[in-house]
Amino acid sequence: MSLDEYYRRLELPDTASPADVTRAYRRLRAKYHPDRNKGSESIVEPVFKRVQEAFEILIGKREPRVAGPMATSTSAGSRGKAAPSREHRGPPARGASCLIRLFVPLEAAIHGGEVDVSYPVSGPCQQCQDRASQCARCYGSGRSVSGTRCTACVGTGRPLASHWCPACLGAAAMTYRKSETVKVPPGAWDGQRLVVEGAGHPGPNGGPPGDATFSVVIACGSAFRRDGLNLACDVQVDFVTATLGGNLEAQILGRALRLTISPNAHPGSTIRLLRHGLTDSMGTRGDLTLQLVLTMPAAVSHLTDNERQALREMFAHAQRRATQAIPPCS
């Protein structure tokens, strides 16, 4: 029986890679396993055994049942010829591009910056670059010098399963993670696409890699509340500044903002900064709302007893005026 028949059992072309063989075997094994076909065991069991046999022969675990020494792969265009090596075929080609979600912090989305990202790509196996991808005895031909089937690779032209790289099982390719630093422009928006040339999947046969397209997803941290393009967050103000009014410098989104606090500011009072929020694809920018949270100034712990008593009397006097509706003295 030719190797073509074993590939057909797995519903594969005879150019399938070892990884393709393994994937097809697992799929068909699950489909025709007698345990998954209760009541139809007599029907699926022969199919299951043929799938098992095809897999073991194609990976080199079992000798194929042949009628003669010429029973090698006989795909169209290669009838009567030796089975070619199935690894590293064709000229170098450009790799595929990939689309990756890029989670961008608020600060980088508003002011611009760089974001590190790690993502999966498929490329040559790093552990078997120097390993032979063809049978060392027949150099991938599948035939011995005398013209008979090569006994080292049973006519496949590839190393047997026992000689395959343990990382990729002879596929010579695997999925691994790639790291990239993506430059984010100021005013980035959700869904904006940033292209980094050459950051995609590696090219087949040593070809150049494809591109990576990063789709922006703005990540709003727990310190901020978002409503569309508008942002809101808390800002701490000591009660002296809140009572008397004054200027306050606050670090917000990586920038120092100088704020003016009106006298008698209450907890929960807000300051609205126009066009300090997020931007959309049309250039429209939202606002940033700051909600005041009152705190105690650090100097409170250094007040003397007399100063504390003076404060008590001052606030008590103000409270009496408020109760009696006496206007404050000018």
3-state secondary structure 188-203: CCCCCEEEECCCCCCC
pLDDT at 80: 32
Got the DSSP string for 25-63? HHHHHHHH-GGGSTT-HHHHHHHHHHHHHHHHHHTTSS-
pLDDT at 289: 98
CB of 172 within 8 A of CB of 158?
no
Radius of gyration, CA atoms only, the chain = 36
The whole model's pTM is what? 0.61
For the chain, give every residue range classified as CATH 1.10.287.110: 3-58
pLDDT tens column, 134-167 = 677 777 778 877 778 888 777 777 666 555 566 6
Which tokens in the block code for residue 162? 């026992």
- Cβ density class 14-33: b for 16+ within 10 Å, e for less: bebbbebbbebbeebeeebe
pLDDT at 131: 52
pLDDT at 72: 36
pLDDT at 258: 95
For the chain, give every residue range classified as CATH 2.60.260.20: 98-136+143-219, 225-323
Low-confidence ranges of the chain (pLDDT < 70): 1-2, 60-90, 126-134, 158-167, 169-172, 325-330
pLDDT at 174: 79
pLDDT at 165: 66
pLDDT at 34: 82
* Top-level class of domain 225-323: mainly beta
Instruction: Tell me yes or no: is domain 98-136+143-219 CATH 2.60.260.20.
Output: yes
pLDDT tens column, 65-112 = 544 333 333 333 333 333 333 346 457 788 889 999 999 999 999 999
Long-range contacts of 189-197 (CB under 8 A, 24+ apart): 189/109, 189/216, 189/218, 189/278, 189/279, 189/280, 189/281, 190/216, 190/217, 190/218, 191/215, 191/216, 191/281, 192/216, 192/281, 194/102
CA-nearest of 283, 244, 279, 277 to 261 is 244
pLDDT at 97: 92
pLDDT at 74: 33
Which residues face 200 on adjacent strands?
none
Q: Which CATH superfamily is domain 3-58 in?
A: DnaJ domain (1.10.287.110)
Strands (E) located in the chain: 98-105, 113-124, 173-184, 193-196, 212-219, 224-227, 230-238, 246-252, 255-261, 270-273, 288-295
Residue 192: burial class (beta carbons within 10 Å; 0-12, 13-18, 19+): buried
